Amino acid sequence: MTAAAMATRSSPSPQPHGSDPMSKRNFARLAAYIYDYSGIKMPESKKTMLEGRLRRRQRAAGAQTLDDYCDYIFAEQNLAEEGLSLINAVTTNKTDFFREPGHFDYLSKVILPEMAARGVRSIRAWSAACSTGPEPYTLAMVLDDHAETHGGPAYGILATDLDTDVLETARSGIYPRELVDPVPDALQRKYVMFPRDAARRDVRMVPALRSAIGFARLNLMDERYPVGEPMHLVFCRNVLIYFDKPTQKQVVSRLVDCLKPGGYLFLGHSESITGHDLPLTQVANTVFRKG
C-alpha cells in the first residue's frame, strides 16, 4: 500500500493520531526487524518508547494508526526506503563533547607519549558510533593540539554511524552554543567559531577540524568493517549497551581486527568485555590495548 493510499484509507472508528497503541504482533515484528538490522534490543518494556518515536514517521506516511504504519512499512516495496527512516527514529543519539573526559586525559598523557616513544608519526583513529559528532571533534581537538605543541604526530579520523540524520549534523560541525561548554577554554578559542552576532545560538567547528574527519555510514552489524588500514585508536563508546551479549562479543571482536597491534580500544564507562576471549589488555578504565 502506498503512503497516499494510507492517507485516504477510511477507518470505521478512526483513532486520533498519537494515542493508539501498537498491537503486540506488530511490536514483535518491528522489534525483530530492528534487532536483525541494527542489533538494537527492543524488549517489551520499550514498547511505549518505540510508539512515541514512531509517531512522526506514522504521520509522514499518512497512516491513521501505528498498526496501519506497520502494515505500510512491511509491504515489501516500502521496507527498503522507510526502513532507513525507521532506524534513524529508533537510535538513541545522546552524546557530548569531552564525554567521559578521563579517556581524553589518558590519551594525551599516556598514549600519545607512548606512541611518540615508539616512533609513530601518523595516527589513524576511528569513532565507530559517532552520533552527531562531538566525540570525533573532541578527538580531533586533542590530537590537533598535541600535534601542534609536540611537533606531531599527524592524524586522520574516520567517524561512522548507522543513523544518516546524525551524520548530516556531524558533517556540518554546527552545534548549539551550550553544547561546547565542556570544551576547555583554550581549545574553544582554537577550534570553535563563535558568531559575531551574540544573539545567534550556534557555533561551528573550525575548517581544519572538519577536514581532518571523514564521515561515513557504517552498520556495526555488518560482517566486515571496510575501514582501510588498521587503526591506532578505536572509540566505540555507549553503543554496545544497546546490543545483547553475543552481539557485543561479535562487534568487539571485529573492532579488534581493525586495530593495529599496540593500538587502543575505548569503550563506554558502563560497557565491558568481561568473558570475551580477546587479545586485549585493560590499561585504564574501559581502555584496552591490543597485544
- Only segment of 4-12, 127-135, 145-153, 269-277 that touches ligand SAM (CB under 6 A): 127-135
**What is the amino acid identity at position 216?**
A
Q: State how far the Cα of 239 lies from the Cα of 249, in Å rounded to an integer.
A: 13
* Least CB distance to ligand SAM at residue 28 (A): 20
| DSSP-derived 3-state class of residue 104 | helix
Q: Which three cell numbers stand for residue 145?
A: 593540539
Q: The cell 558510533 sits on which residue?
A: 129
User: Considering only CA atoms, which of 158, 169, 163 is closest in space to residue 255?
Assistant: 158
* Least CB distance to ligand SAM at residue 216 (A): 11
Check 29, 53, 171, 210 and give the catalytic one. 53
- Residues in 170-209 that interact with ligand SAM by CB under 6 A: none
Q: State how far the Cα of 212 lies from the Cα of 148, in Å rounded to an integer.
A: 14
The reply on whether position 91 binds ligand SAM by CB under 6 A is yes
The reply on whether position 90 binds ligand SAM by CB under 6 A is no
- Only segment of 14-22, 37-45, 199-207, 273-281 that touches ligand SAM (CB under 6 A): 37-45
Q: Is 96 considered catalytic here?
A: no
Preceding peptide of 153 cis, ω within 30°: yes
Q: Is 222 considered catalytic here?
A: no
Using the minimum distance from each CB to ligand SAM, give the nearer residue, 6 or 218. Answer: 218
DSSP 64: S
**What is the amino acid identity at position 25?**
R
| DSSP-derived 3-state class of residue 105 | helix
- Residues in 150-169 that interact with ligand SAM by CB under 6 A: 161-163, 166
In this structure, the dihedral spanned by the alpha carbons of residues 164, 166, 170 and 174, taken in order and rounded to 10 degrees, is 130
The residue within the footprint of ligand SAM, chosen from 75, 84, 187, 221 (CB under 6 A), is: 221
Check 161, 163, 237, 289 and give the catalytic one. 161
The residue within the footprint of ligand SAM, chosen from 70, 157, 239, 267 (CB under 6 A), is: 239
- Residues in 49-78 that interact with ligand SAM by CB under 6 A: none
| DSSP-derived 3-state class of residue 176 | strand
Catalytic positions are: 53, 161
- Binding footprint of ligand SAM on the chain (CB under 6 A): 38-40, 91-95, 99, 129, 131, 135, 161-163, 166, 219-221, 237-239, 242, 268
